[in-house]
Amino acid sequence: MKVLPIINDPGTYVFECPGCKCSHKIDSKWSYNGNPDKPTLSPSVLVRMDRPPHPEVKICHSFVKDGNIQFLSDCTHELAGQTVELPELE
């Protein structure tokens, strides 16, 4: 599975971001197609990390569609502008 529900938080899901090398969480503000193997989320996922331990603002902005993650050009990591498969979660 590429998206997992958070057990104690109904309507909240997590997926692993290969660009940030950490997990990102979405809640009921996003639509989710319910397919944990080929997830599609809408709208885009925007994560800003601007607090310790990150001295500078880091941005991850992506679309998740059919099990792939498309990183937009405003990402500050090395996968900006690329589309890759979402990793499996255990």
- Tell me the pLDDT tens digit for each residue of 65-82: 999 999 999 999 999 999
CA distances for 34 relative to 24, 68, 74, angstroms = 17, 15, 28
Residue 15 inside a domain? The answer is yes
**pLDDT value, residue 57:** 86
> Which residues constitute the domain of residue 20?
4-85
Residue 90 belongs to a domain: no
* 67 domain-assigned: yes
The pLDDT of residue 65 is 98
Q: What's the CA gap between 87 and 90, in Å, rounded?
A: 10
Residue listed under structure tokens 């690329």: 82
Domain count across the chain: 1
Is residue 42 one of the residues assigned to a domain? yes
Residue 48 domain-assigned? yes
Residue 8, domain member (yes or no): yes
3-state secondary structure 5-51: ECCCCCCCEEEEECCCCEEEEECCCCEECCCCCCCCEEEEEEEEECC
Q: Do residues 30 and 11 lie in contact, with contact meaning Cβ atoms separated by under 8 Å?
A: no
Q: Could you tell me if residue 49 is inside a domain? A: yes
Task: Look at the pTM and tell me if it is higher than 0.85.
Answer: yes
In a domain, 58, yes or no: yes
Report how far residue 35's alpha carbon sits from residue 2's, in angstroms, rounded to the nearest whole number: 9
